[in-house]
Chain A
Amino acid sequence: EDKVVQSPLSLVVHEGDTVTLNCSYEVTNFRSLLWYKQEKKAPTFLFMLTSSGIEKKSGRLSSILDKKELFSILNITATQTGDSAIYLCAAGLQMNRDDKIIFGKGTRLHILP
């Protein structure tokens, strides 16, 4: 059974701290690993990773994929209260023309001022 597991499920840190969110996956026909940020409603796209060892960065956020060990991490440095959100990891699969995404349960991050 395809699955994506995120850890921790919940995290509370102080503003300015650095956090690392983890995502492991066991899926068939892996295509990509995606990270989303969900604040009040709709998840918004952060990163898509398809190759091992290549870090993607956007401001204080960065992510990397290890396709051998089947995991990805999302780092947030110098956290701000606006980083408080649920962070969703998802594995994109492709089987012939069947293109699906399997989501993890998310990590709820809360940044204290």
Chain B
Amino acid sequence: DADVTQTPRNRITKTGKRIMLECSQTKGHDRMYWYRQDPGLGLRLIYYSFDVKDINKGEISDGYSVSRQAQAKFSLSLESAIPNQTALYFCATSDPDSPPYGYTFGSGTRLTVV
């Protein structure tokens, strides 16, 4: 089983619909992140959480919300999807005190908003 699991892997949704992307991890890390990746723009941070009670906005949080249901689960919601939210979304975890020190990424969710 993957250390960081994202569901769904692919999703097509209509403008205005609410959609939730889910992430679960088995690494026991406290820190979890949501990124989006767009061609030519790299990875941009949407939200991050350092523990269940600690949620922080990233650089592009508008139009998104998150929920940290447990240490292992971190969900990203698009309340009313719009086409420019079409992107590849990654969840990641980190533990700065344990190898490999960087982030462990999920396999990504490719979201298309039509």
- Could you list which residues of chain A lie within 8 angstroms of chain B, going by C-beta atoms? 9, 31-32, 34, 36, 41-45, 48, 88, 90, 92, 94, 97-101, 103-106
Point out the residue from B42, B45, B103 that lies within 8 Å of A105, measured CB to CB: B42
| Contact among A32, A88, A99 with B43 in the assembled complex (CB-CB below 8 Å) | A88
Q: Which residues of A contact B42 (CB under 8 A)?
A: 88, 103-106
A70 CB, min distance to chain B CBs, angstroms: 18
Q: Are A100 and B106 CB-contacts (below 8 A) given A42-B90, A105-B41, A106-B42?
A: no
Of B90, B104, B108, which contacts A45 at CB under 8 A? B104
Flag B95-106 by CB within 8 Å of A: 1 or 0 each. Answer: 010001111111
Q: Which of B40, B44, B56, B105 contacts A42 (CB 8 A)?
A: B105
A104 CA to B96 CA in the complex, in Å? 20
How many angstroms from the CA of A22 to the CA of B100 in the assembled complex?
Answer: 22
Which of A9, A31, A36, A41 is the most central at the interface, judged by chain B CB atoms within 10 Å of its CB? A41
